[in-house]
Chain A
Amino acid sequence: MSFYTELLISILLLSGGGFVLVGSIGLLRLQDFYSRLHAPTKASTLGLGGILIGSMVYMYHLQGYVSINELLITLFLVITAPVTAHILAKVAMHHRVKLIERTSNQDLVETARKQLPAKVSNSSQESNPKGSNQEM
């Protein structure tokens, strides 16, 4: 393996590891849940993308062909990380997780919470009591 290939793989791995570390530090250090949600879902996905590309280059030099597995992992993570973040933000909104005081437009949270049972009751009547139970 030539020097420049090793250099390329090393740079990709190091930047990926740095982004993952920054995401975890942000998960530990930021102040409320909604800002903590930003750090891992963006930085860790980017860092894992760097490590995956580095691993892809390395395996190409080891085997001579690009295997489809790394591409599958990349595609899967890029698709699923925003979905998880969205569901967690929704759960936090409905569980009334505390915001920090300087969050702007805080009064809109209550409106956004109360809109859910109304929408559900339009589509089907059966799930309406569940929605109102959730509101509590």
Chain B
Amino acid sequence: MLEMTVMIVGVMLCIALVLNLWRLIIGPDIVDRILALDTMYINSIALILLYGIYNQTPLYFEAALLIAMLGFVSSVAFGKYLLRGDIIE
């Protein structure tokens, strides 16, 4: 049952990633694109955790933690750059 569930949730996450990519491409403003990229980070963390369950290993949690930190830092850097014209003042 668990393998079936993991497959179904994986398909749902992949559809969600495709929808985010669609918003990233058509986004009318640059802020939409940053938001879509941030959501893609979060969804890929979920996909990596699901892959860890599928392979029965806790090895991928470090990768998920790394992606979480990098996603937050990059989104804030984009935002600060757009807001002030500079990242570190």
Main secondary structure on A side of the interface with B: helix
B interface, how many residues as a size bin? 35 or more
A100 on interface, CB distance cutoff 8 Å: no
Chief secondary structure at chain B's binding surface: helix
- The answer to whether A91 and B83 have CB atoms under 8 Å apart is yes
Q: Is the CB of B68 within 8 A of A76?
A: yes
In the complex, residue of chain A having the shortest beta-carbon distance to the beta carbon of B22: A28
Residue B87 lies at the interface, judged by CB distance under 8 Å to chain A: no
| Chain A minimum-CB-distance residue to B32 | A33
- Chain B residues close to A by CB (< 8 Å): 1-2, 5-6, 8-9, 12-13, 15-17, 19-20, 22-23, 29-32, 34-36, 38-39, 42-43, 45-46, 49-50, 52-53, 56, 58, 61-62, 64-65, 68-69, 72, 75-76, 79-80, 82-85, 89
Chain A residues engaging chain B, CB cutoff 8 angstroms: 1, 3, 6-7, 9-10, 13-14, 16-18, 20-21, 23-25, 27-28, 33, 36-37, 40, 44-45, 47-48, 51-52, 54-55, 58-59, 62-63, 67, 69-70, 72-73, 76-77, 80-81, 83-84, 87-88, 90-92, 94-95, 97-98, 127, 130, 133-134
